[in-house]
Amino acid sequence: MLYLHKTKFVQIRYLLKYLTVCCLLLTAVFSWAERQLRVVFYNTENFFDCKDDSLTRDEDFLPGGSYAWSPKRFLQKTEQLARVLAVAGEESFPHLVGLAEVENEDCLQFLLRASSLKNVAYRYIYAESADPRGIDVCLLYNRFVFKPLAWESIRPSFSDENKKSRDILYVNGLLPNEQVLHVFVCHLPSRYGGVKASEKFRRQAAGQLRARVDSLFSKEPNALILIMGDFNDEPCDLSLSRDLGARNPQEPYRPAALYNMMWPLMNKPAYGSHKYQGRWLMIDQIIVSSALLYEEPLQQESPPIRRLSEAKVRFDDFLLVKDEKYLGYKPFRTYEAYRYIGGYSDHLPVCLDIPF
- Model confidence at 16: pLDDT above 70: no
Neighbours of 143 (CB within 10 A): 11
Cα dihedral 177, 308, 301, 244 sign: negative
CATH number of the domain enclosing 107 = 3.60.10.10
The pLDDT score that the predictor gives to residue 302 is 72
The pLDDT score that the predictor gives to residue 298 is 56
- Give dist(CA 249, CA 289) in Å, integer: 10
Determine the average pLDDT of the residues in 280-299: 90
Nearest to 173, CA basis, from 158, 162, 165, 184: 184
Give the range among 128-142, 176-190, 287-301 with minimum mean pLDDT. Answer: 287-301
Residues 187, 207, single domain; the answer is yes
The pLDDT score that the predictor gives to residue 19 is 46
Residues 1, 114, single domain; the answer is no
Residues 190, 244, single domain; the answer is yes
The pLDDT score that the predictor gives to residue 10 is 43
Residues 250, 125, single domain; the answer is yes
The pLDDT score that the predictor gives to residue 20 is 46
Determine the average pLDDT of the residues in 102-127: 96
Residues 48, 12, single domain; the answer is no
- Model confidence at 281: pLDDT above 70: yes
Residues 52, 185, single domain; the answer is yes
Cα dihedral 322, 274, 294, 175 sign: negative
Q: Which residues of 29-47 are buried (b: 16+ CB within 10 A; e: fewer)?
A: eeebeeeebbbbbbbbbbb
Residues 305, 286, single domain; the answer is yes
Nearest to 190, CA basis, from 245, 231, 136, 133: 231
Residues 97, 224, single domain; the answer is yes
Confidence of residue 265 (pLDDT cuts 50, 70, 90): very high
Residues 145, 203, single domain; the answer is yes
- Model confidence at 23: pLDDT above 90: no
What's the gap between Cα 204 and its chain centre?
Answer: 22
pLDDT above 70 covers a percentage of the chain that reads 89
Strands 96-102 and 36-47: parallel
Cα dihedral 74, 75, 78, 83 sign: negative
Confidence of residue 31 (pLDDT cuts 50, 70, 90): very low
- Give dist(CA 283, CA 230) in Å, integer: 6
DSSP secondary structure string, 9-71? HHHHHHHHHHHHHHHHHHHHHHHHHTTEEEEEEEEEEEE--SS--TTS--GGGSTTSTT---H
Residues 26, 100, single domain; the answer is no
Name which residue leads in pLDDT, 325 or 15: 325
Helices (H), ranges, the chain: 2-33, 71-89, 105-114, 195-219, 238, 290-293
Confidence of residue 55 (pLDDT cuts 50, 70, 90): confident
Residues 196, 52, single domain; the answer is yes
Q: How many domains does the chain have?
A: 2
Name which residue leads in pLDDT, 267 or 149: 149
Q: What is the dihedral of CA 194, 195, 197, 199, to 10 degrees?
A: 150
The pLDDT score that the predictor gives to residue 256 is 96
pTM score, whole prediction: 0.90
The pLDDT score that the predictor gives to residue 13 is 54
Determine the average pLDDT of the residues in 187-198: 96
Domain encompassing residue 23: 1-33
- Model confidence at 49: pLDDT above 80: yes
Confidence of residue 28 (pLDDT cuts 50, 70, 90): very low
Confidence of residue 30 (pLDDT cuts 50, 70, 90): very low
Residues 259, 339, single domain; the answer is yes
Tell me the pLDDT tens digit for each residue of 197-218.
999 999 999 999 999 999 999 9
DSSP secondary structure string, 190-211? --TT-HHHHHHHHHHHHHHHHH
Tell me the pLDDT tens digit for each residue of 96-112.
999 999 999 999 999 99
